[in-house]
Amino acid sequence: MGQVVNIFFINISIIYLVLSLTLYLMRHVLPVQVASPLAVRVWFGVAMGVAAVLLTINSFPVEAARIDLRIIPLALAAAYAGPVGVGVTVVMTMVGRMALDGMTGQLFQSLATLVAFLSLTFLVHRARLRRGHAFSAYVVFGTVLVLIRVTGNVSTDVFMTVFLPYFAMTFFGAWMCYWVAKQIETHLRMFRLHTQRATVDELTGLPNRYMTLERLNDVEASGLSWALLVIDVDRFKQLNDTYGHRTGDAVLRRIGMTLREHCPEDGFVGRYGGEEFVLVTENTRDAKQLAERLVRAVRETTYTFEDQVIPMTISVGVSIANAEPGTVVFERADAALYQAKADGRDQVKIG
């Protein structure tokens, strides 16, 4: 009995470790579900297959059977990734069992059990049960399959003192693992959501002021040469006063898209605040030409409101960093922008 309890805690620790690491690595594609892209379902099946192999290695042989919690990663793969996920897990489980025991009668019994489990997955998938209900069905069915396998293969005493506690631990461990998986998934999704809200400008989809300054600091600390473009939308207040803030928001969104489309691969563009944007590029030689392309692109873009064409332009101040603090570079670019505004707007000035 003591060894069964010990194996239980080792197995649960393995499942927790693999499950937590898997969900963290897949945090950008959460939630994992039957409708997820094929690659997501395959990789989740691979992860659960790794867990099943580790459980097999750490199993406890009892007469003609092995005690472990392989049914839990199989049920998780089926509930989260459907037939594709559990199919991958089943294959990896069989490979692991073959590597451990070789071609034995137990291997073929395991294969029959896994095939029956895989068949159930297709039936449950067609029934479209909720994930929690499907997981419960997989655990119950898998445990019944194990019960059928061991009945008659072990003595009554071993069955009562080892396998009955094992079945109870399986149900308890399955509930714990599913609950933990839900909690981890929820926390990672919320973290991703809050991170996006904290770093991405909701209106334009560009990095917000905080993220822009963070990336600006990274460029400054890199020691590489870089150029800063401070961009301001001309007569934006007049636009809002004439057509309303909804039109102003639409114009800012479109200008943000234009800037992103023309941003070089070695740079980034972000919304600094209001109608002001910042673009950083490592190509200092062509910084002025880049700024002029941006001015021309915005000028040539058609903005309309109620079938009325609204001419829009931007002014740009450019500054080249020369091994000096980013604040100095920004002040110089901002002064150049002010000069471009004073000289009639819709143009580029170098600071």
Just list the catalytic residues: 275
Give dist(CA 95, CA 103) in Å, integer: 11
> Length of the chain in residues, anyone?
351
From 193, 179, 188, select the one nearest 26 (Cα to Cα): 188
**Integer Cα distance of 296 and 287 in angstroms:** 14
Q: Is the dihedral of CA 271, 273, 275, 277 positive or negative?
A: negative
DSSP lists the bridge partners of residue 305 as 308
Q: Give DSSP secondary structure letters for 79-142.
A: HHHHHHHHHHHHHHHHHHHHHHH-S-HHHHHHHHHHHHHHHHHHHHHHHT--HHHHHHHHHHHH
**C-alpha distances in angstroms, 318 versus 141, 152, 178, 299, 337?**
68, 83, 55, 18, 8
Amino acid at 114: L
Q: How far is CA 42 from the centre of its chain?
A: 15
269, 260 in Cβ contact below 8 A? yes
- What is the Cα Rg of the chain in Å? 30
User: Which residues does 3 contact at the CB level (< 8 Å), separation at least 6?
Assistant: 60
